[in-house]
Structure 1
Amino acid sequence: LLLIAVVVALGFLFYDPYRRFIERITFRYLGSEGLNSNQIIRNYSQAIARTLDVQQLSVLIAGTLSEMLETNRCALLLVSQQDDGRYKIEPIAGMGQIPREEVIFPAKDRFITLLSTEHQPLLQYDIDFNPVYSDINDAHGDWLNSMAMEGYVPISDGDEIAGIIAVGPKGSGLPYQSNELELMQTLADQTIVALQNARLYSVLNAQNEQVRLLNEDLVDQNEKLEIMDRVKTDFITIASHELRTPLTQVKGYADILAAMNEENALSREQTREIVGHINRATLQLEGLITDMLETSQLDVDEMRLTFVKTRLQSIIKLAMEPLIQALRERRITLTQEGVDELPPIYADYKRLVQAFTKLLGNAVKYTPDGGRITVTAALIPSVDEEEEFFEVIIQDSGIGIDPKFHELIFEKFFRIGDPQLHSTGSTKFKGAGPGLGLPIAKGVIEGHNGRIWVESEGEDEQRMPGSAFHIILPVKPAEVEIEPIPELEERPSYLIG
């Protein structure tokens, strides 16, 4: 035995063929635990015949090799030839911590060429020390080293390679013998059909999932189309009501004015009062028509913006002005946080005032009397130094919005609720309008290269979960011309609460 050990040690110092010869002699005399190859192949074939999952197939391969060779590291490498002839290799872990990084090998790479054309196992020892493999580039060599495998066995149907069984060192630390490599190659040959079926099944599964998602999207789109078709019908009802109400007021007061004038019964005070009613109705009518025109501009991207240097604090103040009376009458507390701390911004202040008026008005309409609205603003940390953004959140304590409507509320003419229950009123509780305010706000914000979305857990008039509208805008939009218009002058504070 001592003599054989010395011969083995000396054999490893010589060229590879001598090493393999000495290994065979050594194992012939020292012996190794016999492998019942027929039984192993039979059990393995039965197991993989029921497998249609690539990951499970890799685990089965690893389990078989672990039981047979006491290795604790194994992977199935999926090989795909790309259109340009190169090979993509994707590791599927079977046992042990296997790197999941994919790698691309050239079409004529020695590693792939030998496995695919010579159809025989390749040992890491040969890759490291045989000069034939010296042309493997460093990146691919590093990738093979990171796999920490002892051998690679090709899975091929004779024409092209579909995969590679990568097996780690034996638990005993001894090198793999020729009979063990032959058995692994036989297992690999048994694997080709199962691997092809598993990959085909994976592709079919992916296609089925894609079809399922497309069907879901189609159903969603159909539901949205049905909703929008209903919305257009509802808009006619609502717009007719919105137009008829001020027109009726104008006609009514005009008739009163004419009748009283004929009887010479008009005092200056009465004239002023009647004219005031006519003027308010006219303004209401003008506002609706203006919103319709603004919405039509969104359709054809005709909203022209003039950018000037201004401050968000001034914009919010101007946006609040039309709502001050309603906030006081309905005892709604409106507070601001961080708005005055923002640096100067560059925007079309008239358009932004318009957008924030719509958003604040929406918050007022869906917040009950005695509720609260909070406007919070803050700079967003910049990931690059080219463009800086800030965020504004308009949070109310109102009835909330059902998540299924979170995107639809920004569609033209959409409004939540039964149009038959529509009530005219720009600031009364649930006094919904024609559904133009939020689409206009969204159009203005996106015209500034910004984003807007809403967050709300749902609609509940008992719990009042509220809604939070998030607006993100650039401090200075890229590629815009700044007009030499004086900065928006400061107005008195109208902070309520």
Structure 2
Amino acid sequence: VAVRPSLQRLFNRTVLGQTYDVQSALRSYSQQINLILDLERLTDTTLEWLRNTLRVERAAFILLSDLVQDQVELRVLRSSGGSLPGPALFDRESRFVTHFRRIGRPLTQYDLDVLTWFQAMPDEERSWVKSLGAELFIPVLLPDRPVALLALGPKATGQPYSDEDLETLMTLAGQTATALENARLLDSLRAVQGDLERLNSELSETNRQLKRLDRVKADFVTIASHELRTPLSQIFGYSDVLSSMKMDELGNSQMLNEFLAGISRGARRLKRVVDAMVDVSLLETGTLRMHPVPVPLGVVVSNALSTVKPAAEQRKLVLEVEDLSPLPYIEADGTRLEQVFVSLLSNAIKFSPDGKHILVSGRCEAAVRDDAFVELAVRDEGIGIDPEQQRLIFEKFYRPENPMLHSSDDVGFKGAGPGLGLAIAKGIVEAHGGRIWVESPGRDEARCPGSTFRVRLPVVARVQE
């Protein structure tokens, strides 16, 4: 026998103890969500209404999102109790999803368990739905598709959901649909705005990098001209003097040796500049070949120290090396690695005041040989490097100093070359499958916080011969 809605409400109030005023509660809910444009706040408001008005013990707000390849993502956005599953992908023609898209009516877990139509659901879909622990599913519908589901657990009274409850919930879902769509549109706009802000930030950074690159190129022309002209002037100067000397003057062996030594110094300096430019070109084109053989790192570092020792002695700098003999042989191009450490040690000498210490240390990360790494560090007591420059110093032609104050002195404090040494070192290390970086608290010429350059290399070669 059909029970009139008025009698049903009377029965609910007197026998079941339900005292809510449906129309008043729905009006209040509608007024609340009309002012909400935040998706999470909307779901919290909906779940709170279900708990306070219908006394639903457990509920979940599930978003439905159409994806490519005919799939629909079901994601629990909020729940009012219990642990819930993560997102799940359902086929667009899944019978669970199709029911809400075509029928657009509530569905119970009992229906899912016993109706023949739902027996064809894949096991993973059925398992995910069941893990929600819901008795009833209410669709939140737009005219063309379902956009969400309200998964409701049992009521606190223990009573089943009545027909009046179902109509109330469908009305609630209808009010929620519009608010949900508005909230999702706002979320999309915020995402677009975030993307635009990110793109603007990336564009600004790109413009800054382009301006810096233009400045670096201009500085490089100035520095390179100085680097090339200075040794050429030295060579031509001594050559001109020699060519103008008379035969009897050439008999002065001391003067002749001095002039020839000057020409030799200029030629070697010129060769270093040209070699550096060639190495950078080869690294950029990927044609700098490595020839890995078993190499003792102690010998590599020792050879590099021998190269820079005269400059360190002139500056009264103390070069120290920890015992590197425990380090394993690594498969590497020893000559190129020596070039790396000459560059790092020269850099430490140039930016350390007289009388300071420079320490070379190393360690091995214990692991299976094929995955083992060694790490060497060159630590100085120099003026340090600002954090924003710690990545830039490994770019070609970059110099932290004012190029107008440029000095190509190999020994003098803050002397510098064309700004290629660290870029070449980075290229060589990376060609070995390694990594190079610097650590420094910042630049301070008064306190001299120092810098530590670290080189991490694989024990087993990762380069092509």
Q: Same fold (TM over 0.5)?
A: yes
Confirm or deny: 8 A CA contact 1:52 1:198 kept in the other structure. yes
**Residue of structure 2 aligned with 1:393, choices 377, 385, 398:** 377
Instruction: Mark the runs of 5 or more structure 2 residues left unpaired by the alignment.
Output: 1-7
Aligned residues: 458
The letter of the residue matching 1:170 is K
Confirm or deny: 8 A CA contact 2:16 2:157 kept in the other structure. no
In the alignment, structure 1 residue 418 sits paired with structure 2 residue 402: yes
Structure 2 matches for 1:28-39, cutoff 5 A? 30-39=15-24
Question: How much has 1:227 moved relative to structure 2?
Answer: 0.9
**Residue of structure 1 aligned with 2:131, choices 143, 146, 149:** 146
Question: How much has 1:258 moved relative to structure 2?
Answer: 5.1
The letter of the residue matching 2:414 is K
**Residue of structure 1 aligned with 2:423, choices 420, 436, 439:** 439
Structure 1 match to 2:3 = none
| Distance across 1 between alignment mates of 2:249 and 2:123 | 104
Question: How much has 1:173 moved relative to structure 2?
Answer: 3.9
Question: How much has 1:95 moved relative to structure 2?
Answer: 2.9
| Distance across 2 between alignment mates of 1:344 and 1:173 | 74
Cα distance, 1:376–1:271 mapped onto 2, change above 3 Å: same
Structure 2 match to 1:123 = 108
Structure 2 matches for 1:104-115, cutoff 5 A? 104-115=89-100
Structure 2 match to 1:340 = 325
The TM-score normalised by the length of structure 2 is 0.89
Instruction: Mark the runs of 5 or more structure 1 residues left unpaired by the alignment.
Output: 1-22, 482-497
Structure 1 match to 2:307 = 322
Structure 2 match to 1:248 = 233
Aligned to 2:415, what secondary structure does the other structure show?
coil
| Distance across 1 between alignment mates of 2:231 and 2:118 | 88
Which one is further off, 414-423 or 319-328?
319-328
Structure 1 match to 2:256 = 271
Structure 2 match to 1:86 = 71
Which one is further off, 359-368 or 252-261?
252-261
The letter of the residue matching 1:224 is Q
Structure 2 match to 1:205 = 190
Confirm or deny: 8 A CA contact 1:424 1:433 kept in the other structure. yes
The letter of the residue matching 1:391 is E
In the alignment, structure 1 residue 189 sits paired with structure 2 residue 165: no
Query: Residue deviations 1:276-334, cap 9 Å, x none?
Result: 23222221111111111112222322211112121222222222221112223333333
RMSD: 2.7
Question: How much has 1:104 moved relative to structure 2?
Answer: 0.3
Query: Residue deviations 1:327-374, cap 9 Å, x none?
Result: 233333333457432222111111111122112211221222233333
In the alignment, structure 1 residue 451 sits paired with structure 2 residue 412: no
In the alignment, structure 1 residue 51 sits paired with structure 2 residue 45: no
Structure 2 match to 1:42 = 27
Structure 1 match to 2:223 = 238
Cα distance, 1:34–1:338 mapped onto 2, change above 3 Å: farther
Question: How much has 1:97 moved relative to structure 2?
Answer: 5.0
Structure 1 match to 2:4 = none
Question: How much has 1:195 moved relative to structure 2?
Answer: 1.2
Percent sequence identity is 38
Aligned to 2:249, what secondary structure does the other structure show?
coil
Confirm or deny: 8 A CA contact 2:433 2:463 kept in the other structure. no
| Distance across 2 between alignment mates of 1:286 and 1:110 | 77
Cα distance, 1:173–1:274 mapped onto 2, change above 3 Å: farther
The TM-score normalised by the length of structure 1 is 0.84
Question: How much has 1:132 moved relative to structure 2?
Answer: 4.6
Confirm or deny: 8 A CA contact 2:369 2:460 kept in the other structure. no
| Distance across 2 between alignment mates of 1:292 and 1:449 | 22
| Distance across 2 between alignment mates of 1:291 and 1:479 | 21
Confirm or deny: 8 A CA contact 2:290 2:463 kept in the other structure. no
